[in-house]
Structure 1
Amino acid sequence: MVLGGVGIGSCCLFGRLLGCRLSRIFGIESAFDNIAPAIESLSRSLSSESSKARKVEDRPKQSLRIPTSVTLTPWSPIDDFTALPPLPPILDPALDQAVFTHSGMVTKPGEMSYERLEWIGDAYLYLMATAFIYQTFPELPAGRASQYRETLIKNLTLSKYTVDYGLNNRTRFPAEFDLHGRLGGNSATQKNKRKVLGDVFEAYVAGAILGDPEQGLARVSAWMKALWSKELSEEIRKEFNARQQRVKQPNGQEPGTSSQAPVQDLNPKVHLSKAIGATGVKISYRDEGEPKKEKKTGLPWYTVGVYLDGWGVTNLPMGFGSALSKKEAGSKAAQAAFDNKKMIKGFVKKKQELMAAVEATGVVT
């Protein structure tokens, strides 16, 4: 299927951070057409202001070329989730120096620091992460997709890359930042240090892209695809395993050939209600304490329990589920209850007996 002239199977990420139409990243034009002129106008305005600033500071009158576009493809199960991919070089010496230089260490007129490069690199990483996730997980809800993206671009992840590649050892920062070596100190110090190390990585991404307008974006996007695959390796495998399971239904029939939809297509809550729900029977979902922190993302981790009042029981806990959202946790709790075949079978039998009595007498008890 083709939308806006771009195939869904591939996703074009243009190097123009301000002047680009964001819609082309996803192959859909109409959603963003109205903001494109404003973005173009903002780009011209910022370019004009930047030019004035260079004149005031007596900086070299040299502009950066816009990197060429690149095609991004989704992750697959064959991607290498273990090896640390080679670091793409920064071909422009001035950018290479700027990436590792704090503004407080700038001594010469026209010398750059890492700060503006970090700003650009942050935007590139945000767009690349969005594109990879959008293509790899086509049925993922937007909320969960945002959680995946946060896993990829948060400071904890990026600062780790900075240390893994030894980029922190090349920095020219004031001594109080203490960027050389591994993270240490109290939690507040670690948080601040992690933020700066993440910024250095973002600056490096921008330097590698802008320093090579012809191939920089392609090299960096391929590098980040391999690097990020480790962070979502479990999710990627689950996605492709789920796709394989959807190829054929449990009875071996191809999709669409069965006269009855497979049970797995039902929402677990709906499935549970259909199985044991009846007049006077209450199925309720409750939060189980305060949410904890999910180890991988640091986001709230909710636990929900499903309880039954009816069929001779009161406040019976039938199952529990945990997830990054209450809705998903509730669905998992319902599925856990339904997976208890012995328990469900007993309640289903009572429901059948009630329905038979109603049919025989015409009286609802």
Structure 2
Amino acid sequence: METLEKKLGYTFQDKSLLENALTHSSCANESKGRLQSNERLEFLGDSILGMVVADHLYRNHPDLPEGDLTRTRAALVCEESLVVVAEELGLGAYLHLGRGEEAGGGRQRPSIRADAVEAVLAAVYLDGGIGSARKIIQKYILSREVAGLTKPRDHKTALQELVQRESGQVLRYRLVREEGPDHDKRFFVEVDLNGSPVGTGSGRSKKEAEQMAAKAAIERLEQPGI
């Protein structure tokens, strides 16, 4: 944990908060009540992250219209962005997972790693206040702001342009399932090309899930031999 604290640039007074932030529901369920999952911390961290990013963009970009502010914030706090943060922190190695989730490759699952980032931010906030959480958000997320302001890539448009190189191509996005409570819903979408699945993705909104599915489809279709 000391290595993770060094990467965060923050030392916890209450180490149990960090342990809680790294405990996935699969592990908590197997503990039969001894451990609490990080879902509540994730809920809090999502709001903290959104508020800090929105406050920063509002104060530092007075000329940006609401639409651009919204798109930039979305690009900075989306699952894809948080997975990058998790990779930089090496967060997957510290997660407490249940046996089934471990065997199923949970340490590399984007949604689990993104949720853990939010949970860690909430743990820092509860332990050291908003200033400490803001420093971490500044270091790992707002430092990529310039890339976000260049307008986040529209994967759906890019996929459409890719498949239209040949005539008669038909793309269709299909909502596969929804998981989680209303306040923390996660959507899973599949994109089909001419009736065959070419990509799947998940997100906290249908639009984000479609973008992630399109991104996966592009990566697959651009592989040599496909």
Same fold, TM-score > 0.5, yes or no: yes
What is residue 168 of structure 1 aligned with on the other side? 92
Pick from 151, 169, 178 the counterpart of residue 105 of structure 2: 178
SS of match in other structure, 1:231: helix
What is residue 75 of structure 2 aligned with on the other side? 151
SS of match in other structure, 2:62: coil
Residues in 2 aligned to 1:99 and 1:235: alpha-carbon distance in whole angstroms: 27
Pick from 107, 114, 131 the counterpart of residue 38 of structure 2: 114
Alignment of 1:261-280 (within 5 A): none
Q: Point out which structure has higher relative CO (alpha carbons under 8 A, 6+ apart).
A: 2
User: Per-residue deviation at 1:203?
Assistant: 0.3
Count of residues paired in the alignment: 150
Is the 1:102–1:172 Cα contact (8 Å) retained in structure 2? yes
Pick from 201, 207, 211 the counterpart of residue 127 of structure 2: 211
Residues in 1 aligned to 2:92 and 2:152: alpha-carbon distance in whole angstroms: 25
Residue 143 of structure 2 is aligned to residue 230 of structure 1: yes
Residues in 2 aligned to 1:111 and 1:159: alpha-carbon distance in whole angstroms: 25
Residues in 1 aligned to 2:73 and 2:47: alpha-carbon distance in whole angstroms: 13
Q: Which runs of 4+ in 1 moved over 6 A?
A: none
Q: Given the superposition, is the C-alpha separation of residues 300 and 128 from structure 1 closer, same or farther in structure 2, using an over 3 Å criterion? A: farther
In our comparison, the structure showing a higher alpha carbon Rg is 1
SS of match in other structure, 2:141: helix
User: Per-residue deviation at 1:209?
Assistant: 0.9
Is the 1:205–1:220 Cα contact (8 Å) retained in structure 2? yes
Residues in 1 aligned to 2:147 and 2:51: alpha-carbon distance in whole angstroms: 22
What TM-score results when the alignment is normalised by the length of structure 2?
Answer: 0.58
1:61-98 CA distances to partner (integer Å, 9 max, x unpaired)? xxxxxxxxxxxxxxxxxxxxxxx974423332221111
What is residue 361 of structure 1 aligned with on the other side? none
User: Per-residue deviation at 1:151?
Assistant: 0.9
Residues in 2 aligned to 1:295 and 1:139: alpha-carbon distance in whole angstroms: 18
Q: Gapped runs of 5+ residues in structure 1?
A: 1-83, 184-192, 239-293, 304-365
What is residue 219 of structure 2 aligned with on the other side? none
Q: Gapped runs of 5+ residues in structure 2?
A: 1-5, 162-226
What is residue 256 of structure 1 aligned with on the other side? none
Residues in 2 aligned to 1:231 and 1:299: alpha-carbon distance in whole angstroms: 22
User: Per-residue deviation at 1:228?
Assistant: 2.4
What is residue 66 of structure 2 aligned with on the other side? 142
Pick from 10, 25, 28 the counterpart of residue 88 of structure 1: 10
Root-mean-square deviation (Å): 2.9
Residues in 1 aligned to 2:118 and 2:154: alpha-carbon distance in whole angstroms: 19
Alignment of 1:39-58 (within 5 A): none
What TM-score results when the alignment is normalised by the length of structure 1?
Answer: 0.37
Is the 2:21–2:123 Cα contact (8 Å) retained in structure 1? yes
1:147-197 CA distances to partner (integer Å, 9 max, x unpaired)? 0001110000101111211111011113145244xx5xxxxxxxxx21111
Identical-pair percentage: 20
| Larger helix fraction of residues | 2
My pick for the range that moved more, 90-99 or 102-111, is 102-111
